[in-house]
C-alpha cells in the first residue's frame, strides 16, 4: 500500500509485495542458472565437434547464462528494496518501481532470445554427433525456459487491475463510482453460467455498487487485506488487555445449565429442539455434505438412497432440478433420517437469489418443516453480497421496515414456489394437527426468518429455528418482533453473525488506520501471521508491532488509532461519510442463544478446573447489538460451520445430566 504504478496504471500489488514472490523466482532462477552452468561446463567443448551450428549452441548457452545472471541480480536488489520500511513508508521503497520496470522489460530480450534458441535447436540449423554431445540437454533448457517466461507473464496477469487506469483522476465521485461499478458489472457478466438467471442484472448491479463503495479510492491491494487482518488481531488483543487493566470490560455471565437459560422461554425453545432442527438444516446441504464429512465412504453411503434413471420414472413427490439418479435427494434422506415418502417437496434449483429448499414431515416433533439451504455455491455468495437494505413490508411489523435485499428476493421466490405447488395446503390436509416449522443455516437462516414473517399471519403458531444468522438482516424494530417466534443459535466468534454492510465498512476503516499505525514491513507481518495461527499472539508483539505512539484509545465511543496523524484521520472520515452504502443499519434477528467454549481463570481452584474440563460449552441470551462489530478471531470461520454448531449443541445436551447442584456462574 499504495498500489504499484507502472505503465501509466495501478496494479493489484504494492512495492512491499515482492519479497516472497521474489524469493520464489530467485530460487527458480538460481537453479536454472546452475543447470545452464553445468550444461556449459559439460558440453561446451563438445559443441566444437558439431557438423553444423555448433557456434549457435554456444551463443545460445552463453547468452542465456548472461541474461539469467542479470535478471537474478535484479531480483536480489528488488527483494532488498521491497523489504525496506513499514507498510506505509513508500519512500523507503522508492526504487522498487523503476527496478521492477527494468525487470519486466527484460522479458522482451528473454522472449526474443528463446525464440532464436527454439529456431536453432529444434530446426535444421544444428547437427551434432550424439556420441560426443547430447542436443537433448539444450532442447530441454529451451523448453523449460519457455515455462519460466510463461510463469512471469502469468504473474503479471494475476496483478493486472482493469480499474487501475490513472487517467481522468479529477472526475467527480459520482462519475468515478459509476465507471468502476460498470467494470465490476462486466466482471460478473463474464461468468457466463449466470447470464440466464432471473434478476441477474439487478443483482450484479447491487453487488457492483457495494464493492465499489467499499474499495473505491482506498488504494488497498489484496496483500494489504491479509496483512491488515493479522494486524487487527494483534490490535484487538492489545486493546482487550489495556481495557482489562482498567476494568472497562464487562464479563457477560454464561452457564451450561439449560434449566436456567430456558426457564422463562416458551416450551418450544429448548436445546433438544435446537439440536434436532439443526440436524434437519444440515440435511439440506445434500450429497455434498455427505461427501465432505465422509470423503472416502461418502459415495457408498449415498448409493443406498439413489435411484438409477429416476428422471424416466414417476416420482412419488415433487422433486425439482435433481439429477437423474436423485443424488441430492439421497443426501437429504441420509442426513435427515427421514423416508422419501415424508419428503413432500424439494426444489434444488440454484440460481441468483433462488436457494434450494425442501418441505418434509417430521413425525418426531409433529411438524411440517420447511428447510432452506445455506450458501454452497458462487450464486449463493452473490446473493449474500446483494446486501443493501430495501423496503420489506408484511403484516405485523412496523411500516418502513428494511431488510437484506438479496434475501427479500430469495424469500419471494420460495414463497411463490410454495404457493404454485400448494405444498403446505397438501401437507396440512394430510396432517391437520401438525404445526409449521421453518429452519435453516447461514443464508438459509436469514431466508427462514423472512419467510416466517411473511407466513405468520396464516400460521400464527409458526416457529423458526435459525442457525448462524447473518447480521445484516432486519431493521431493529422488525428484529425485535421476531423474538416472539424465532430462536437464533450462534457459536463463538462466528464471522457471518457479525457480517453486515455497516460492520464491513467499519472494518475497512479500522484496517486502514491499523495499516498506518504499523511499524513492521509487510513481509514480517505475514510471517508473524503464520506464527500466530500456530502458537497465538505473543505478549511482546502487542507493543512492538506499532509505531511509537499510543494506539489505544480507551474513551468509549471513539475510534482507536485516530489520536495522531490528523491528515490520515480526515481522509478516513471523509471516505466514510461518502461511502455509507446501506440506507439503514440492519441487525440480527430472533432470540439469540450464544454458545461459547469454556475458559478458565488462572485464579480458579483445582476442583473447579476439573469440573471445567467436563463442562466444554456455556451459553447465554445475547442481544442483536452485541453482533454489530466485525472482529478478527482465529475461529471466526470454523465457528460458522454447521457441524461445529451441532457438536456444541450435542455437548451441551450431554452436560445437562452432569451439572452439580452447587454450580453458580
| pLDDT at residue 373, rounded to an integer | 97
Hey, where are the domains in the chain?
3-163, 169-215, 258-498
Compute φ and ψ for 479, nearest 5 degrees.
-65, -35
Report the top-level CATH class of 258-498.
alpha beta
Q: What average pLDDT does the segment 137-144 reach?
A: 78
Select from 642, 585, 270, 625 the least CA-distant residue to 443.
Answer: 642
Half-sphere exposure for 221 (CA within 13 Å, toward CB) = 23
Q: What is the pLDDT of residues 149-197, one digit of tens each?
A: 888 888 888 888 766 665 544 444 555 556 666 666 666 655 544 455 5
Alpha carbon 104 to chain centroid distance?
Answer: 32
> Residue 480 burial by CB count (10 A; 0-12/13-18/19+): exposed, middle or buried?
middle
| pLDDT at residue 52, rounded to an integer | 76
pLDDT score of 511 more than 70: yes
Q: What is the pLDDT of residues 64-88, one digit of tens each?
A: 888 889 999 999 999 999 999 999 8
Q: Which residues contact 239 (CB under 8 A, 6 or more apart)?
A: 552, 560
| pLDDT at residue 286, rounded to an integer | 94
Distance CA 268, CA 271 (A): 9
Question: With bands split at pLDDT 50, 70 and 90, how would you rate the model's confidence at 2?
Answer: confident
Half-sphere exposure for 70 (CA within 13 Å, toward CB) = 15
Q: Check: CB of residue 596 under 8 Å from CB of residue 254.
A: yes
Q: Check: CB of residue 290 under 8 Å from CB of residue 302.
A: yes
All cell numbers assigned to 333: 434422506
Look at the alpha carbons of 524, 529, 530, 536 in this order and tell me if their dihedral is positive or negative: positive
Q: What is the pLDDT of residues 577-609, one digit of tens each?
A: 345 666 688 999 999 999 999 865 544 544 555
Lowest mean pLDDT among 68-72, 171-175, 261-265, 392-396: 171-175
| pLDDT at residue 388, rounded to an integer | 85
| pLDDT at residue 72, rounded to an integer | 93
3-state secondary structure of 619: strand
Select from 548, 564, 401 the least CA-distant residue to 481.
Answer: 401
Q: Which residues contact 117 (CB under 8 A, 6 or more apart)?
A: 60, 64, 138, 142, 145
Q: What is the pLDDT of residues 215-224, one digit of tens each?
A: 666 778 889 8
Q: Which residues contact 642 (CB under 8 A, 6 or more apart)?
A: 278, 281, 282, 285, 374, 441, 442, 467, 468
Q: For the chain, give the mean pLDDT.
A: 82
Question: With bands split at pLDDT 50, 70 and 90, how would you rate the model's confidence at 613?
Answer: low
pLDDT score of 370 more than 70: yes
Higher pLDDT, 567 or 362: 362
| pLDDT at residue 643, rounded to an integer | 96
Long-range contacts of 161-167 (CB under 8 A, 24+ apart): 161/3, 161/9, 161/10, 161/11, 161/12, 162/187, 163/10, 164/3, 164/9, 164/10, 164/11, 164/12, 165/8, 165/9, 165/10, 166/5, 166/8, 166/9, 166/10, 167/8
User: Which range has the top average pLDDT, 43-57, 359-373, 507-521?
Assistant: 359-373
- Greatest CA span in the chain, whole angstroms? 98
Amino acid at each position: 500500500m499504495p498500489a504499484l504504478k507502472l505503465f501509466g496504471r495501478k496494479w493489484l500489488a504494492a512495492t512491499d509485495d515482492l519479497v516472497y514472490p521474489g524469493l520464489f523466482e530467485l530460487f527458480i532462477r538460481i537453479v536454472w542458472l546452475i543447470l545452464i552452468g553445468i550444461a556449459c561446463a559439460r558440453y561446451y567443448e563438445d559443441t566444437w565437434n558439431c557438423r553444423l551450428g555448433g557456434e549457435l549452441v554456444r551463443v545460445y548457452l552463453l547468452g542465456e547464462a548472461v541474461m539469467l545472471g542479470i535478471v537474478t541480480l535484479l531480483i536480489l536488489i528488488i527483494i532488498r528494496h521491497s523489504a525496506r520500511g513499514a507498510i506505509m513508508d513508500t519512500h523507503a521503497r522508492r526504487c522498487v518501481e523503476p527496478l521492477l520496470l527494468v525487470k519486466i522489460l527484460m522479458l522482451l530480450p528473454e522472449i526474443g532470445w528463446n525464440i532464436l534458441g527454439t529456431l536453432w535447436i529444434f530446426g535444421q540449423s544444428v547437427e551434432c554427433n550424439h556420441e560426443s554431445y547430447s542436443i537433448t540437454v539444450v532442447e530441454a533448457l529451451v523448453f523449460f525456459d519457455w515455462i519460466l517466461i510463461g510463469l512471469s507473464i502469468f504473474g503479471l496477469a494475476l496483478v493486472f487491475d482493469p480499474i487501475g487506469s490513472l487517467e481522468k483522476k479529477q472526475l467527480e465521485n459520482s462519475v468515478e463510482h459509476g465507471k468502476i461499478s460498470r467494470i465490476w458489472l462486466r466482471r460478473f457478466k463474464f461468468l457466463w453460467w449466470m447470464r440466464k438467471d432471473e434478476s441477474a442484472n439487478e443483482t450484479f448491479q447491487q453487488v457492483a455498487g457495494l464493492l465499489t463503495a467499499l474499495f473505491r479510492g482506498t488504494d488497498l491491494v489484496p496483500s494489504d487485506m491479509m496483512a491488515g487482518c493479522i494486524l487487527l488481531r494483534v490490535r484487538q488483543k492489545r486493546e482487550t488487555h489495556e481495557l482489562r487493566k482498567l476494568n472497562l470490560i464487562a464479563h457477560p455471565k454464561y452457564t451450561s445449565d439449560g434449566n436456567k437459560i430456558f426457564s422463562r422461554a416458551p416450551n418450544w425453545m429448548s436445546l433438544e429442539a435446537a439440536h434436532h432442527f439443526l440436524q434437519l438444516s444440515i440435511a439440506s446441504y445434500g450429497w455434498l455434505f455427505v461427501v465432505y464429512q465422509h470423503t472416502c465412504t461418502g459415495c457408498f453411503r449415498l448409493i443406498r438412497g439413489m435411484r438409477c434413471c429416476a428422471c424416466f420414472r414417476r416420482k412419488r413427490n415433487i422433486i425439482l432440478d435433481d439429477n437423474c439418479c436423485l443424488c441430492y435427494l439421497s443426501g437429504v434422506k441420509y442426513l435427515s433420517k427421514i423416508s422419501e415418502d415424508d419428503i413432500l417437496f424439494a426444489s434444488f434449483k440454484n440460481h441468483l437469489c433462488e436457494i434450494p429448499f425442501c418441505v418434509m414431515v417430521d413425525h418426531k416433533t409433529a411438524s411440517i418443516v420447511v428447510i432452506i439451504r445455506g450458501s454452497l455455491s458462487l450464486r449463493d455468495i452473490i446473493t449474500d453480497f446483494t446486501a443493501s437494505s430495501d423496503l420489506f413490508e408484511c403484516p405485523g411489523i412496523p411500516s418502513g421496515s428494511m431488510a437484506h435485499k438479496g434475501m427479500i428476493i430469495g424469500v419471494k421466490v420460495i414463497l411463490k414456489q410454495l404457493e404454485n405447488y400448494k405444498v403446505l395446503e397438501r401437507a396440512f390436509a394430510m396432517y391437520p394437527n401438525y404445526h409449521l416449522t421453518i429452519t435453516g443455516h447461514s443464508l438459509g437462516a436469514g431466508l427462514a426468518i423472512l419467510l416466517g414473517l411473511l407466513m405468520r399471519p396464516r400460521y400464527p403458531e409458526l416457529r423458526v429455528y435459525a442457525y448462524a444468522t447473518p447480521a445484516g438482516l432486519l431493521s431493529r424494530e422488525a428484529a425485535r418482533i421476531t423474538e416472539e417466534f424465532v430462536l437464533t443459535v450462534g457459536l463463538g466468534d462466528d464471522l457471518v453473525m457479525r457480517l453486515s454492510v455497516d460492520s464491513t465498512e467499519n472494518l475497512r476503516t479500522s484496517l486502514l488506520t491499523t495499516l498506518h499505525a504499523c511499524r513492521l514491513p509487510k513481509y514480517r507481518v505475514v510471517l508473524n501471521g503464520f506464527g500466530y495461527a500456530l502458537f497465538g499472539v505473543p505478549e511482546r508483539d502487542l507493543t512492538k508491532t506499532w509505531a511509537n505512539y499510543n494506539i489505544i484509545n480507551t474513551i468509549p465511543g471513539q475510534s482507536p488509532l485516530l489520536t495522531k496523524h490528523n491528515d490520515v484521520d480526515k481522509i478516513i472520515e471523509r471516505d466514510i461519510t461518502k461511502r455509507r452504502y446501506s440506507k439503514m443499519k440492519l441487525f440480527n434477528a430472533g432470540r439469540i442463544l450464544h454458545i461459547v467454549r469454556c475458559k478458565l481463570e488462572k485464579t480458579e481452584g483445582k476442583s473447579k478446573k476439573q469440573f471445567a474440563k467436563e463442562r466444554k460449552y456455556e451459553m447465554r441470551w445475547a442481544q442483536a447489538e452485541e453482533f454489530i462489530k466485525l472482529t478478527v478471531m482465529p475461529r471466526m470461520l470454523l465457528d460458522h460451520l454447521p457441524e461445529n454448531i451441532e457438536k456444541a449443541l450435542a455437548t451441551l445436551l450431554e452436560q445437562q445430566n452432569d451439572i452439580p447442584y452447587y454450580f453458580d456462574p
